[in-house]
Amino acid sequence: MATTRKHQQTIRTPDWVKHAVFYQVFPDRFARSERNELPRGLRLQEWGATPTQTGFQGGDLYGVVDRLDHLAGLGVNALYLCPIFASASNHRYHTYDYFQVDPLLGGNDALRELIDRAHDRDIKVVLDGVFNHTGRGFWPFHHILENGGDSPYLDWFHIHGWPLHPYPGPRQKPNYSAWWSMAALPKLNTDCPAVREYIYEVAKHWIDFGADGWRLDVPGEIDDDSFWQEFRRVVKGANPEAYICGEIWHESQRWLQGDQFDGVMNYVFTGPAISFFAAKTFRSDFVHPHLPLAELDARQFSRKVDYMHGLYDWEINFAQMNMLDSHDMARLAWLTQEHSAQRLCVLFQMTMPGAPCIYYGDEVGLAGGPDPGCREAFPWHKPDAWDRELLRHYQQATALRHAHPALRTGSFQTLHAEGDVYAFRRALGDDDLMVLFNTAFEPQELSIRVAGVADGEFRQVWPSGPSRNHAVRDGLWSPDVPARAGVVVVRA
């Protein structure tokens, strides 16, 4: 049901997103708070237990409130929460009540406190919207299970036969449409007017409640531009500065024309970044259908970066959510297998156009493999196990981004892409920076031509420490760069 745009409209994205550093929270595994008053006798896994597909470790939204100091110290000013609504799964993508925060997470009162305390610190809160499918416990689906073809909610789903098989055997498929044919996830019929109205009501309700936007789960499964165009009108009508971000793993021009989403989870950024900065070290046994990794040199990497930027209007490029990992893939540390590769990836992420997103726990060295390994508990209970040097690296990299407007909304120009060395320039008014990466395992002596600068003085701002001056003479910058390192300089 794709529709054709009759004309290109002016694209506008929320300004705050361009200046955001996101932090993705998987609520069950981020932090458990004693303030969450749960009924006695609940059986939760021990905090820090080996993550499983079905186990609950008891993280909650009060726990997120309790750790806002950590997030603020990390330089975070936006949260992206994995689903929080009532569900029978630890990841909560099996929603059964879209108007109630899961009681295990503290209920609606806990979300109220989180939004209020986050906003007190100028931290935005983006929720995860799962609107393609529900859980089996969603009340209209349960109504059909109880009443069969006599249920008035029959058109809310795609039913293919009777009796329904909500718990099919190993050789039996569900006889209703379900996401990836998983019986636990019946697919909503978004052609049904009542379903559309319900989803729009949910979307508006939580924006009115105070949420700052929606991350949309598998929105490409709802193959209907008009659905998302109306979704945007509803959300932006409630708050014109609300952020709408789709989970699309590939090129996303269809959804990024200014009438549907503001950005996507930018996995088109993720794969090339790991493939270049960890070219010699990434895991060869990592298999993911949407995120292929292949060793890249600087020239190949540069072409991919320029191609990515050419896909969209710059309003969109500045509002992309740039990921290095997430709850749906192995963690960055597991993939790269080498500390300097993770550090290079993070510095690149913090100096590029688009809003960087840190997956919870990466900053202290969590290194879980593919799902469910990547969903381990944050080690608040083992502070001695934290990689403090890595944490400082993240803090310094986010501080660098916050200190320089050019790194957020400045122009982008490739300066050099040869072998193991990649360099680019970001400029906005008087804020003029050059960023250089050496991925080789030995130092490099370089001579890089800087277009438009005959002579000039630049001051080193990365690595931190005593400032070192860099000169451009006759249009050439000649830095010496250590092995596996980045250098950032700003015009003095």
415-454 pLDDT, tens digit each: 999 999 999 999 999 999 999 999 999 999 999 999 988 8
Mark whether 43 and 85 lie in a shared domain: yes
Mark whether 210 and 317 lie in a shared domain: yes
CB 92 within 8 A of CB 29: no
Mark whether 378 and 422 lie in a shared domain: no
Mark whether 416 and 372 lie in a shared domain: no
Look at residues 383, 403, 423 and tell me which one is the last residue of a structural domain: 403
pLDDT the model gives residue 4:
45
Residue 144 belongs to a domain: no
* Total structural domains within the chain: 2
What CATH code is carried by the domain that includes residue 118? 3.20.20.80
Strands (E), 188-343: 213-216, 243-246, 263-264, 321-323
d(CA 11, CA 161): 45
Catalytic residue list contains 217: yes
What is the residue-averaged pLDDT of the chain?
A: 96
Mark whether 352 and 436 lie in a shared domain: no
CB 80 within 8 A of CB 23: yes
Out of 102, 247, 387, 420, pick the active-site residue: 247
Average pLDDT over residues 136-141: 97
Q: What is the pLDDT of residues 31-79, one digit of tens each?
A: 999 999 998 889 999 999 999 999 999 999 999 999 999 999 999 999 9
Residue 185 belongs to a domain: no
Out of 60, 128, 217, 328, pick the active-site residue: 217
Residues 6+ apart with CB under 8 A from 300: 276
Mark whether 462 and 354 lie in a shared domain: no
Domain containing 260 equals: 15-132+190-403
Residue 420 belongs to a domain: yes
Mark whether 321 and 378 lie in a shared domain: yes
Residue 148 belongs to a domain: no
Mark whether 208 and 343 lie in a shared domain: yes
Residue 152 belongs to a domain: no
d(CA 206, CA 184): 25
Strands (E), 107-242: 124-129, 213-216
Look at residues 403, 421, 455 and tell me which one is the last residue of a structural domain: 403
Residue 304 belongs to a domain: yes
d(CA 155, CA 73): 49
- For residue 42, count CB atoms less than 10 angstroms from its CB and return exposed for 0-12, middle for 13-18, buried for 19 or more: exposed
Residue 437 belongs to a domain: yes
Mark whether 399 and 471 lie in a shared domain: no
Mark whether 267 and 333 lie in a shared domain: yes
Q: What is the pLDDT of residues 282-301, one digit of tens each?
A: 998 898 999 999 999 999 99
Look at residues 358, 381, 403 and tell me which one is the last residue of a structural domain: 403
Average pLDDT over residues 143-151: 97
Mark whether 297 and 422 lie in a shared domain: no
What CATH code is carried by the domain that includes residue 425? 2.60.40.1180
Mark whether 334 and 292 lie in a shared domain: yes
Catalytic residue list contains 420: no
**Which residue do the tokens 């916050």 mark?**
402
Give, in degrees to the nearest 5, the angle at Cα 26 between 24 and 32: 120
Residue 145 belongs to a domain: no
Is 1 a residue whose pLDDT tops 70? no
Phi-psi region of 58 (alpha: psi -120 to 50; beta: other; left: phi over 0): left
